[in-house]
């Protein structure tokens, strides 16, 4: 199948664990299909980095409903983006 006809699907899960590292399960999942780059070398659609800010937003929403619980959002170096830093500051 030619590259331009292929659709790659991705899943970016957010899962919950206790401080003792006991898994609690899936908390959120950001799913998307990567579109092929256009002739200009740019991918159409929303930026894939959106998954980091949206995952953080889900954690922040839950933090408001769980005042006695400490929620920590851990991310890899791909999350080093200004949009996430701004969202965290808010």
Instruction: List the chain pLDDT tens, one digit each, 90 residues.
Output: 445 555 688 888 888 888 888 998 988 888 888 888 899 999 888 888 888 888 889 889 988 888 888 888 888 888 889 988 898 888
Q: What is the pLDDT of residue 36?
A: 86
48: nearest Cα among 82, 79, 15: 79
Q: Is 55 exposed, middle or buried (0-12, 13-18, 19+ CB in 10 A)?
A: buried
Q: What is the pLDDT of residue 39?
A: 93
Tell me what pLDDT residue 13 has: 87
């Amino acid at each position: 199948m030619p590259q331009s006809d292929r659709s790659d699907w991705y899943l970016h899960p957010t899962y919950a664990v206790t401080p003792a590292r006991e898994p609690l399960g899936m908390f959120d999942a950001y799913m998307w299909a990567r579109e092929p780059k256009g002739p200009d070398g740019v991918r159409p659609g929303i930026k894939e980095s959106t998954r980091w800010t949206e995952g953080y937003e889900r954690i922040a929403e839950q933090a408001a409903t769980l005042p006695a619980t400490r929620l920590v959002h851990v991310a890899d170096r791909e999350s080093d983006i200004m949009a996430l830093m701004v969202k965290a500051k808010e």
